[in-house]
Amino acid sequence: MKYLSALSMLVASLSLMEGVYILFVHRKNPLNRRYFYMTLCIAVWLFGASFAYSGENREEVLFWFRICSFGFIFLHAYTLHFVITLTSPQLKAPASVALYLLYLPSIYFQYKSLTGSLVFRDFIKQGTYWTAVPDFNSPLFLLLIANYLLYYACSAILLIRYAKKTSLKKEKTKAWLLFSAILSTIFFYNLEPFLVPFFTEYKPLVVSPLFSIVWISIVGYAILRYRFLAYTPSKITQEILDGIDEAVLVFGPDLRLLYANAFVLRLQSKESFRSGTLPLNFASFYGWFLESKGLKNALSELLSGAKKSFSCVITFRSFPQKHFQARFSSIRDTDGSNSGIVFIGKEVITKSSLFKEKGITRKEEQVLEHLIKGETLKEIADSEHMGLRTVKTHCAHLYQKLGVKNRVQLMELFHTHNILPERESERKLFPLLEKQSSINTR
């Protein structure tokens, strides 16, 4: 049985290496963490099995079987949780917390495994091999089988629906790969220990955990071919993005957050990003912006390739008092498929907030509106029915309060601080301000 033990250790190591790789690719992503837990279950299952295969006596085999039972009892629960997270990126925070109820049956089965017998009622040594006796008549055994078959069936159905629903070729392929991996593992996990003994006199060696290599290989192919769960900006890119004074967010094709630069982290409260962990409501695009629902059509066009980018003014949920001139652009992979969306936003200041902060009066505001249109002081005086000296006085007060010396610097102030015009007419004029900035003060 030594060769079975060695093979189990090898597959356990491969599983753990794959899980650790996925985890460190993007530790903040809950999807990556849940996949790591799945590989951890497989590794624990195989680790315990490797010692059980070469056990000296029945008690030792039972001991290691109970150790490895954690792996196969919790694997299907982690798998379903992973698939739900993958296929439902817009899941609300309360629903995400409720998903942990999926683990209650596994906790019960684990307790029964540690305190009694579960799945196999006995282990018998035949020559150099240990064989197991499945407990087909046990209601607890049948309940366990029903539980994990139900969970795997739900996972498969969700992946089929996701593959049919998504318009992205790469996401379809990954969904079908995961579906084939789940289907293969269900078949192989049950073939040798349960199906063959049920219809024949065969005494199982319980080599089913070794078939985890099928799952590992399929997901390994997805990692190499499609960068499964592996998108993350390079270290150099991160350093560049962290150094710019603008908000940068990167979302995957499922609109799940992949990266937030240092500017965004500084804006968020320290409590929200303690230990670098994002709150549940920030995991998806729809948890970030007040206007996110209104952007659904535009985002769909980006993801489908109908549009490369679009711009708008947007507001973060965390600080609704701040507005950002935002640009959303699609990210294309080397094969031309969509890899996600990048958001770049520069904070804008509304004139009303600026005027309130600087103590600008209504009359001064009216004069300013004429100034940014490029009107002369005489034209302003005629429009507002003021004396020329009064207009000059208002201009002097405006320049003093805004910290500028002339109209050119006033225009530069609007551009430098990205001050947002609040009226439709002003928004049309705003791009023309740069041309008007060369007008001399009269």
**Same domain membership, residue 214 and residue 65:** yes
Residue at which a domain ends, from 350, 373, 397: 350
Pick 171 or 441 by higher pLDDT.
171
Tell whether 269 is covered by a domain. yes
**Same domain membership, residue 239 and residue 203:** no
**Same domain membership, residue 381 and residue 324:** no
Number of Cβ within a 10 Å radius of residue 395: 21
Pick 424 or 12 by higher pLDDT.
12
**Same domain membership, residue 221 and residue 251:** no
Residue at which a domain ends, from 173, 206, 226: 226
| CA nearest neighbour of 337 among 304, 298, 309 | 304
Residue 205, sorted as left (phi over 0), alpha (psi -120 to 50) or beta, turns out to be alpha
User: What pLDDT band is residue 296 in, cutting at 50, 70 and 90?
Assistant: confident
**Same domain membership, residue 342 and residue 200:** no
**Same domain membership, residue 307 and residue 175:** no
Token pair 């139900």 in the structure block, residue: 150
Pick 367 or 303 by higher pLDDT.
367
Rounded mean pLDDT, 123-146: 90
Tell whether 399 is covered by a domain. yes
Q: What is the length of the chain?
A: 442
Summarize pLDDT for 142-151 with one digit per residue, the tens.
999 999 899 9
Q: Out of 80-84, 101-105, 426-430, which region has the weakest mean confidence (pLDDT)?
A: 426-430
Summarize pLDDT for 257-295 with one digit per residue, the tens.
888 888 888 877 543 444 444 444 466 787 888 888 788
Can you give the pLDDT at residue 71? 92
Summarize pLDDT for 352-363 with one digit per residue, the tens.
777 777 888 888
Tell whether 442 is covered by a domain. no
Tell whether 441 is covered by a domain. no
Residue 18, C-beta contacts closer than 8 angstroms, at least 6 positions apart: 39, 216, 219, 220, 223
The parent domain of residue 397 ranges over 359-436
Can you give the pLDDT at residue 79? 93
Can you give the pLDDT at residue 75? 93
* Alpha carbons within 13 A on the beta-carbon side of 142: 4
What integer best gives the mean pLDDT of the chain?
81
Q: How far is CA 119 from CA 123, 134, 197, 430, in A?
A: 11, 6, 13, 73
Rounded mean pLDDT, 391-417: 83
What backbone torsions phi and psi does residue 138 show, to the nearest 5 degrees?
Answer: -80, 125
**Same domain membership, residue 207 and residue 118:** yes
Summarize pLDDT for 91-116 with one digit per residue, the tens.
555 566 788 899 999 999 999 998 88
Tell whether 91 is covered by a domain. yes
> What is the CATH classification number for the domain harbouring 272?
3.30.450.20
Summarize pLDDT for 15-62 with one digit per residue, the tens.
999 889 888 877 777 788 888 999 999 999 999 999 999 888 989 999
Q: Out of 6-10, 127-131, 430-434, which region has the weakest mean confidence (pLDDT)?
A: 430-434
Number of Cβ within a 10 Å radius of residue 155: 24
Pick 342 or 413 by higher pLDDT.
342
d(CA 156, CA 177): 11
Tell whether 293 is covered by a domain. yes
DSSP sequence for 65-132:
HHHHHHHHHHHHHHHHHHHHHHH-TT--HHHHHHGGGGGHHHHHHHHHHHHS--SEEEEEEETTEEEE
d(CA 49, CA 65): 7
Tell whether 256 is covered by a domain. yes
**Same domain membership, residue 83 and residue 22:** yes
Token pair 């279950």 in the structure block, residue: 41
Provide the CA 324 distance to its chain's centre, in angstroms: 22
> What is the CATH classification number for the domain harbouring 186?
1.20.1070.10
Rounded mean pLDDT, 181-208: 89
Query: Is 5's pLDDT higher than 70?
Result: yes
> What is the CATH classification number for the domain harbouring 415?
1.10.10.10
Query: Is 436's pLDDT higher than 50?
Result: no
**Same domain membership, residue 262 and residue 245:** yes
Rounded mean pLDDT, 131-144: 91
Residue at which a domain ends, from 350, 370, 397: 350
Summarize pLDDT for 150-182 with one digit per residue, the tens.
999 999 999 999 888 877 777 788 889 999 988
Q: Which residues pair with 420 in a beta bridge?
A: 350
**Same domain membership, residue 253 and residue 117:** no
d(CA 97, CA 108): 19
Can you give the pLDDT at residue 432? 35
Alpha helices (H) in 227-350, listed in sequence order: 235-243, 262-267, 296-304
Tell whether 123 is covered by a domain. yes
Number of Cβ within a 10 Å radius of residue 294: 11
Can you give the pLDDT at residue 38? 92
Q: How many domains does the chain have?
A: 3
**Same domain membership, residue 249 and residue 136:** no
Query: Is 234's pLDDT higher than 70?
Result: no
User: By percentage, how much of the chain surpasses pLDDT 90?
Assistant: 22
Q: What is the pTM of this model?
A: 0.61
User: By percentage, how much of the chain surpasses pLDDT 70?
Assistant: 83
**Same domain membership, residue 142 and residue 243:** no
